[in-house]
Amino acid sequence: MRILILHGPNLNLLGRREPAIYGRTTLAEIDDALGRIAREAGCTIECLQSNAEHELIDRIQQTLDADGRVDGIVINPAAFTHTSVALRDALAASGVPFVEVHLSMPEAREPFRHRSLLADLAVGRVSGFGARSYNYALQGLIGHLNSAASE
């Protein structure tokens, strides 16, 4: 099983950016933890962080090609959650099951963060548990994919 982990804008600043909201765990630490979870489950992961919307979209579109194919996606679209119809369209076109993840709980923050343009397409959504949100999202996606494979 191959899973793509996508990190949106400003997540490269984790550990330094607004630690009261996002915590002190760095993106590298999150990716390392996800790698351990994946290995224990017999999966491989590929992690990509970009501040550029088109780079995230390009990688999602690559899932349609044999070389870029993945079984699932964990995505923290960050600010693109609320603004990117293009990211939504790329995820829909890929047909790849995905889990939307957030470190904080968007619904408990500013009103403009309350609406996700991706949530209705996702197989799951995890938020509010800090860096552990990623762990729960990956574990949930692996469980979903394993269940789908056994049906």
Alpha carbons 64 and 42: distance in angstroms, whole number: 23
Selecting among 7, 54, 82, 102, the annotated active-site residue is 102
Residue type, 77: P
Cβ-count burial 67-104 (b if 16+ within 10 Å, e if not): ebebbbbbbbbbebbbebeebbebbeebebbbbbbbbb
Selecting among 7, 22, 82, 144, the annotated active-site residue is 22
- Is 102 a catalytic site residue? yes
Sign of CA pseudo-dihedral 107, 109, 111, 117: negative
Query: Tokens 């197989």, residue?
Result: 123
- Is 22 a catalytic site residue? yes
Angle (CA) 51-54-60 rounded to 5° is 105
Q: Which residues are catalytic?
A: 22, 102
